[in-house]
Structure 1
């Protein structure tokens, strides 16, 4: 089997699938090894508004984000198929002058009393992950359910291994700087809200956002570092709804459809895109540590990793 595989990508979330697709489209024979179905990954839980939030290194994130934005703008032409829509909304309390140079290259942006009004990609992640898998299959790649216990296991079947393991990189690399940042969401029946809203306090683990998705209005959220609980907390859910209802009062009476929890794969030193030679001689390319912005930098980081693959 090793003779017909050039690259094994470890991890089947948005970073792994985007990287695998880019490599397959460049002619590599690619397999993705993922412990979970795409629908069960952290990526599937994401609220998924494009925005470089809580991600480092700042010097690289802007370009990765803008490159990914261009791709999403194209994909938004077929939202039912790709899961990507361009939606207007407000980042509460934000000002262009406080953001990096990347923000000056945004289109459809204006400063309003509440903050920054801008039209951005809002992504229905289950649909988008399915689209990535379909595109990968069409390009000759494959996704396999497989729990990886070491990169040498993958290197035995392909000369190049790409590490998109997210939180799993903590044990696989191993990298103790990788840590979970818990995010809890509440999904309610949408009472007619068509625009998104966010209000983030970097000093607090509580954030406020509402994203109108096809399956309901997604309310958030939390950013609890080193909290690995995966069960929804009822009190936290009530607090999320209350915060969002202060922004849009009609949310208070909306019926709750469901609860979601995801563990964002943050890394103390920021995103790692780097190559190293494995003890057995195989090439290992790292692409992990995206925190809560994996969707935002998916394509830019995939290209950077693909350049290391060659």
Structure 2
């Protein structure tokens, strides 16, 4: 097989996990991860890292379920290993609650998480404004820990990490055979993909070690996610908003909403505010592409547009992207073989 030179552009959870899958499935390749920002300064560092799927309207549900199942099973394996602490992965149980009974009381991912059931009447008494609830156990990644862990695995596999701002993927043409585009919101300019749009997320990180169960309102806006080091309180979903500075009034609104669900949070003193721009798209772009400029061709594999659900499906999409890279290498081999004939 061709000893391919591969560049992965992007160092969030999608870029790093995709690079790791490539390095594991193609150990003979030369692999470089290129990004202008690495942890702790990526959008992924702001994410709560909870494995609860976000729907992509234009991606088939069976595909979303497969990606989620593969991701959940992969992380559960790490969670059940000595690597759990270093990778920042934990099991967390809790409730998803609804003010109105949803049309789909049993979501497509119910059999992928652990112990899914409807909440009892006694449990619902904690949330008098809500009429229906689901209880289950899922996984949570402490985002900065997980990103560092992925970086270390990559280095152990011989990959290189390069801090560099890329303005045009063709900059990499002469040095690499295949470019894997995991640039998230950056694809809006790198690929002129106007389908990808920012959805601004503002969250609070607080010290509340007594909070052990997650609580998520079914509208997806209000949530309380306990983690290894802190509790994440959210949130916002502000479409086409590029503002990265925290808004104090938004922080107050988030805090008040979360205190309504968990009154004990009112005792919290230390509040850290984080803002990130989710790279939102109606469908994850996961495909091969060949670009031509004159006599030159650029082999691309895209894996971006995960929005707020990146952690929930990252490993599943990374596996698929690695498979697409392998297909590109087979194509390169065939082309070289034909050239020799």
The TM-score with structure 1 as length reference comes to 0.93
**1:7-36 Cα distance to aligned partner (Å, 9 max, x none):** 100000000000000101121321000110
Residue of structure 1 aligned with 2:194, choices 169, 173, 176 = 176
Report the Cα offset of residue 96 of structure 1: 9.5
1:278 corresponds to? 291
Greater than 2 Å deviation, 4+ residue runs: 93-107
Classify 1:13/1:49 alpha carbon distance in 2 versus 1 (closer, same or farther; 3 Å). Answer: same
Report the Cα offset of residue 214 of structure 1: 2.4
Residue of structure 1 aligned with 2:97, choices 86, 92, 98 = 92
Alignment of 1:216-235 (within 5 A): 216-235=230-249
2:115 corresponds to? 108
Aligned residues: 303
Classify 1:247/1:101 alpha carbon distance in 2 versus 1 (closer, same or farther; 3 Å). Answer: closer
CA contact (8 A) 1:152 1:278 kept: no
Counterpart of 2:301 in 1: which secondary structure?
A: strand
CA contact (8 A) 1:22 1:302 kept: yes
**1:234-285 Cα distance to aligned partner (Å, 9 max, x none):** 0000011101101111111201331000100001x31011111122223101
Classify 1:218/1:277 alpha carbon distance in 2 versus 1 (closer, same or farther; 3 Å). Answer: same
Alignment of 1:55-134 (within 5 A): 55-56=56-57, 57-59=59-61, 60-77=63-80, 78-93=83-98, 97-113=104-120, 114=124, 115-134=133-152
1:13 corresponds to? 12
For the residues of structure 2 that align with 1:237 and 1:19, how far apart are their CA atoms? 33
CA contact (8 A) 1:12 1:37 kept: yes
Classify 1:129/1:96 alpha carbon distance in 2 versus 1 (closer, same or farther; 3 Å). Answer: farther
Compare 36-45 and 102-111 and name the one that shifted more: 102-111
For the residues of structure 1 that align with 2:272 and 2:113, how far apart are their CA atoms? 33
CA contact (8 A) 1:65 1:300 kept: yes
Report the Cα offset of residue 54 of structure 1: 4.1
Counterpart of 1:17 in 2: which secondary structure?
A: helix
Alignment of 1:1-310 (within 5 A): 6-26=5-25, 27=27, 28-56=29-57, 57-59=59-61, 60-77=63-80, 78-93=83-98, 97-113=104-120, 114=124, 115-190=133-208, 192-201=210-219, 207-267=221-281, 269-279=282-292, 280-310=296-326
CA contact (8 A) 2:72 2:113 kept: no
Compare 158-167 and 274-283 and name the one that shifted more: 274-283
The TM-score with structure 2 as length reference comes to 0.85
| Structural RMSD (CA) | 1.8
**Larger-Rg structure:** 2
2:331 corresponds to? none
